[in-house]
């Protein structure tokens, strides 16, 4: 039987997106709170307090995985497959080749604001899906609904059909 926990979708999704080397985030399985340790900005007392809480009740806290760069890269490839404008799709395909792919991809999208917003929707929806899968894997059933809109990247409606490759 899965445990029902109120989830703050935005906080949990942000923790999944977290790419900081010195950051660890935990989900409190009792309260649904996301607890983060950010070594670069927190003092040692704050870090010690969080680590003490987690170590005292390890069954209560679950480390939140963050996506790795290969998953993020695959997300860009999937998005490019949905782009109708062949010229833009080609620009994006070239942009993701080699070192600096993420920066170049986003730089190209700066000149295409509608597609840039669609990218944020696309990426956000994939992240929420990853969170849902992870919660299921660890036996958690969210008592709060999955957001119709995910707003960590802005106030954007998402639409399932935007995830299908365009013909």
* 76 and 47 in a common domain: no
24 vs 145: CA distance, rounded Å? 25
Does residue 57 lie in a domain region? yes
Please say if the pLDDT value at position 154 is more than 70: no
Q: How far apart are CA 146 and CA 134, in angstroms?
A: 13
Same domain as 88, residue 32: no
Confidence at residue 17, expressed as pLDDT on a 0 to 100 scale:
83
Same domain, 159 and 87: yes
| Tens digit of each residue's pLDDT (9 = 90 or more) over 68-105 | 889 999 999 999 999 999 999 999 999 999 999 999 99
Do 74 and 55 sit in the same domain of this protein?
no
Query: Can you give the pLDDT at residue 19?
Result: 56
CA gap 113, 108 in Å, rounded: 10
Same domain, 130 and 76: yes
Q: How many domains is the chain built from? A: 2
pLDDT at 150 over 60: no
Local confidence band at 148 (pLDDT 50, 70, 90 cut-offs): low
Residues 88 and 159 grouped into a single domain: yes
pTM: 0.76
Better-scored residue on pLDDT, 157 or 20 = 20
Tell me, yes or no, whether 88 and 52 share the same domain.
Answer: no
Reduced to 3 states (helix: H, G, I; strand: E, B; else coil), residue 146 is coil
Is a pLDDT exceeding 50 seen at residue 63? yes
Query: Which whole number is the average pLDDT over 23-35?
Result: 92
Contact present, 102 and 17 (Cβ < 8 Å): no
Q: What are the CA-CA distances from residue 38 to residues 44, 47, 53, 66, 147 (Å)?
A: 10, 8, 15, 14, 26
Residue 26 maps to a domain: yes
Indicate whether 122 and 159 sit together in one domain: yes
pLDDT at 156: 36
Least confidently predicted of 7-16, 41-50, 140-149: 140-149
Contact 98, 48 (CB under 8 A): no
Q: Is the same domain home to 159 and 79?
A: yes
* Higher pLDDT pick, 73 / 41: 73
Distance (Å, rounded) from C-alpha 125 to C-alpha 71?
A: 14
Other beta carbons within 10 Å of 10: 14
- What beta strand segments (E) does 3-162 contain? 3-5, 23-28, 34-38, 61-63, 140-142, 149-150, 156-157
Beta carbons of 35 and 26 less than 8 angstroms apart = yes
pLDDT at residue 6 greater than cutoff 90: yes
Residue 144 placed within a domain = no
Q: Is there a single domain that holds both residue 47 and residue 78?
A: no
Domain that holds residue 31: 3-63
- Residue 154 backbone dihedrals phi, psi, to 5 degrees: 130, 170
Q: Are residues 36 and 73 in the same domain?
A: no
Are residues 92 and 132 located together in one domain of the fold? Answer: yes
- Identify whether 147 is part of a domain: no
Q: Per the domain annotation, does 73 fall within a domain?
A: yes
Residue 130 included in any domain: yes
Note the pLDDT of residue 83.
Answer: 98
């Amino acid at each position: 039987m899965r445990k029902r926990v109120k989830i703050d979708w935005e906080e949990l999704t942000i923790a999944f997106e977290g790419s900081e080397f010195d950051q660890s985030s935990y989900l409190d399985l009792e309260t649904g709170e996301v607890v983060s340790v950010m070594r670069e900005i927190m003092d040692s007392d704050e870090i010690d307090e969080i680590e003490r809480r987690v170590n005292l009740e390890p069954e209560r806290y679950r480390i939140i995985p963050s996506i790795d760069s290969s998953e993020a890269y695959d997300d860009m490839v999937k998005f490019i497959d949905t782009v109708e404008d062949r010229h833009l799709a080609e620009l994006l395909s070239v942009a993701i080749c080699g070192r600096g792919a993420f920066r170049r991809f986003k730089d190209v999208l700066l000149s295409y604001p509608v597609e840039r917003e669609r990218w944020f929707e696309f990426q956000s929806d994939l992240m929420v899906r990853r969170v849902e899968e992870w919660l299921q894997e660890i036996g958690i059933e969210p008592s709060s609904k999955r957001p119709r809109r995910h707003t960590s990247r802005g106030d954007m409606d998402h639409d399932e059909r935007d995830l299908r490759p365009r013909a």
